[in-house]
Amino acid sequence: MSNPRAWSLLAVDGARQYGGNSGYQDDPSQVYRYDSFVANHQQVAKKDVIVIRSSSGVLGVAQITDIELGKGEKERQRCPICAVSDIKRRTTIEPPWICRNRHEFVEPAREKVTVETFAAHYGETFRPAPSGLTLDRLAAAVVRPNDQMSIKEIDLARIEPWLRDDPDCNALVKKFVTGIDIDTVGNAADDDPPHSVIEARRRVLREVNQRRGQVKFRNRLIARYGAACQISRCAFPGLVEAAHIRPYAETNDNGAHNGLLLRSDLHTLFDLDLLAIDPSNLTVKLHADVLAAGYEEFDGKPLFLNGTSGPDLAALSDRWEDFQLSQPAEDAASQSGSVATPISD
């Protein structure tokens, strides 16, 4: 799944603050043009949300529908002394030009260079910016602030309160939310309630990600057993989670021998000691209350091992003892028996 990003794009409505580039002819309500000399030019993609700004205000919000590629020539201006392109024209000081190395000069050196060109189209989705969305508020949403960059990544959640006030802009936010990729959100970090639909979506995905287990641990289990639940054989990625047999908090053990791949509901039952694996025959056993709730099909089912030796029997034996303690006395007695000799990978 591709993960949408959000960008603040500077449209030229006069001279740029920095003079290394000669600028582009944009129709800010239809298309944004840039080239391979512009930072982040390779990062912008279709379906990304963009906020178009000028030096005087925020112009509008849109979603990129297409990016047209090409080649062209561009005038590049440099400091005639040190050749850097990071130069700035001053309006009240002579000489009028200065570079980042503090060289002052009357006119920059000019050269023609061949560049890759990009035209991001979004005309059908363009909406005028809500009045509350100011340049200061947009600047506060920039992820890695840099005064010189024309294309800056932003966290759309930080300006969402002003976008929600406009129905069309709010619709763009909702489309953005549905595209957020679970693998990009990290793990749950705090208990503060989210203040935006974007943060709410990220919170849900972080919690799902946390339930799925640490990425490396989960990948080890998938490499060992295949990408499906070892009990139900459910193969839908969003429901298959990595379960520790011995809790990680107690052992710091992320080895494949200490894990099972389980469907999310079966993972929960395993964590609550309402489901266990009988170490004597590697079959599933369920608490009486779970059986009564409609899980009979899994009771007695063999654990899928994919031709491997399976998980650590000593770890399963520990969990089996916890499971028996949770059972009614008569059921625990009927399920007690010999335990196989533990094996390790």
**Least confident segment among 9-13, 25-29, 123-127, 237-241:** 25-29
Task: Please give the backbone phi and psi of residue 315, each rounded to the nearest 5 degrees, phi first.
Answer: -65, -45
What is the per-residue pLDDT for 24? 53
Ramachandran angles phi, psi of 178, nearest 5°: -65, -20
Q: Give the model confidence (pLDDT) of 131-163 as tens digits.
A: 899 999 999 999 988 767 899 999 998 899 899
Reading the block at residue 159, the tokens are: 């300006």
pLDDT of the residue at 334: 57
pLDDT digits (tens, 9 = 90+) for 29-56: 999 999 998 999 999 999 999 999 998 9
pLDDT in tens, 168-188: 898 888 888 777 765 544 444
pLDDT exceeds cutoff 50 at 345: no
Q: Per the structure block, which two tokens stand in for 254?
A: 């992320």
State pLDDT tens for residues 10-35.
987 544 444 445 455 558 899 999 99
Write down the pLDDT at residue 182. 54
DSSP annotation of 310 reads -
- Single pTM value for the model: 0.54
pLDDT attached to residue 15: 41
258-315 per-position pLDDT tens digit: 999 999 999 989 988 899 999 999 999 999 989 999 999 999 999 999 999 999 999 9
For 314, phi then psi, to 5°, come to -65, -40
pLDDT at 320: 92
Q: What is the 3-state secondary structure of 213-255?
A: CCHHHHHHHHHHHCCCCCCCCCCCHHHEEEEECCCHHHHCCCC
Task: Answer whether residue 200 shows pLDDT above 90.
Answer: no
Q: Which two tokens stand for residue 87?
A: 């130069």
Report, as an integer, the average pLDDT of 182-208: 58
Summarize pLDDT for 83-119 with one digit per residue, the tens.
Answer: 998 899 998 999 999 999 999 999 999 999 899 999 9
Q: CB–CB of 5/120 below 8 Å?
A: no
Q: Alpha carbon of 137 to those of 53, 108, 252, 261: distances in Å?
A: 12, 34, 43, 45
* Residue 58, both tokens: 């925020």
Amino acid residing at 311: P
- pLDDT (0 to 100) of residue 338: 43
Model pLDDT for residues 213-237, shown as the tens digit of each residue: 577 888 999 999 999 999 999 999 8
* Cβ proximity of 38 and 150 under 8 Å: yes
Dihedral sign, Cα of residue 296, residue 302, residue 305, residue 309:
positive
Residue 335 pLDDT: 55
